[in-house]
Amino acid sequence: MSPSQNIPIGAAPAPLLPPSDPTAAVSIRGLCKRFESKLAVNGLSLDIPVGSFYGLVGPNGAGKTTTLNMATGLLLPDAGSVSVMGRDVWSDVNRAKRSIGVMPQAGQVFDRLTGLQLLVYSGMLRGMKRAEAVARAKDLLAAFDLVDAADRMVSDYSSGMGKKICLASAMIHSPRLLVLDEPFESVDPVSSANLKDILAEYVSTGGTVIVSSHVMALVERMCTHVAVINDGHVLADGTVAEVAAGEDLEDRFLDLVGGRHAAARIDWLNGGADPTGPAGLGHDVRPAEGDGPTGEGLDPAGIRSPGGLNGSQGSDPGDGAGAR
């Protein structure tokens, strides 16, 4: 069943939208989603071309993950439509998912399985025969440098290894569309380079990749297209060159999104303070009243062992009882 077309309270009035593009890998029209008082996605529309490496960028809380979850059939929209390869996602969500591979940011997987078991299980969930799933799983383990970890439980994988096994799981059924949320987070440079090569090869054979990332340099280097999202709607989209408009992509992103604060002075945070002051913080720092051997504070000389503070409890075991 398709989502209701009623616009949520607080959303932008519904403009007259062009029909979905049947030639696009993903065509989104008027997508809206509210979580209680928070309007996370606000009338978002976007077309993602087939064969593109598409970057989705925006600040934290911009609505990127929510948009991807609705576009891939994981979260029901309040309003709007999504089509993948010309087919409406929410009219037959199970059919739509067969052509999509998803790697969520949180990396939710059955981590009490070994790497090999997880990949085989993922393939069989998508209707593959066991023998084919095993063969593809072994190919992916080799491609992602996980052969030595094939028989270890995924719960024992490092963060970077976990990212790789999640991506392999998303690819095992050879989907036409890959949707990756922060795929390179916690991945070492060598593994990251290998993943980029695998994804570039996938795109060169006609696949489409959507990647959500906060790393502008990575998006500028890898992606053919990019969309900048903030407050649940698209600020700019197109090829990377078109969106950057002659600027560095990060500078252009900051221009579009705003929110950059002028350098605010924090008086106590001063790396150039008088080094003769306490802890290099200048002369305004004064010992608290009562500190010292005769006051109520701590006597640093008395903190010599875990035994106590001040007096004989904190004295060096080698000192005499009344040592001076």
DSSP letter string over 245-267? TTS-HHHHHHHHH--PPP----T
Rounded to 10 deg, the angle between the 115-125 and 130-143 helix axes is 130
On whether both 198 and 284 belong to a single domain, the answer is no
Q: Which residue has the tokens 């150039």?
A: 272
On whether both 247 and 271 belong to a single domain, the answer is no
On whether both 181 and 90 belong to a single domain, the answer is yes
Tokens of 132: 């084919």
* CATH classification of the domain holding 169: 3.40.50.300
In a domain, residue 303? The reply is yes
pLDDT at 35 over 70: yes
On whether both 87 and 145 belong to a single domain, the answer is yes
On whether both 158 and 295 belong to a single domain, the answer is no
On whether both 253 and 268 belong to a single domain, the answer is no
Domain count for the chain, please give it.
2
| Across 110-138, average pLDDT | 95
Whole-model pTM: value is 0.76
Tokens of 47: 């077309």
On whether both 268 and 228 belong to a single domain, the answer is no
pLDDT of residue 1: 46
Q: Which domain holds residue 171?
A: 26-257
pLDDT at 273 over 60: yes
In a domain, residue 215? The reply is yes
Percentage above 70 pLDDT, the chain:
77
177-181: strand order across its sheet? 100-103, 177-181, 208-212, 53-57, 225-230, 233-239
pLDDT of residue 187: 82
Residues 93 and 76: their CA atoms lie apart, in Å, by: 10
pLDDT at 323 over 80: no
On whether both 290 and 168 belong to a single domain, the answer is no
On whether both 279 and 253 belong to a single domain, the answer is no
On whether both 268 and 130 belong to a single domain, the answer is no
Last residue of a domain, one of 209, 242, 257: 257
| Across 95-116, average pLDDT | 87
In a domain, residue 42? The reply is yes
In a domain, residue 49? The reply is yes
Phi, psi of 217 (to 5 degrees): -60, -40
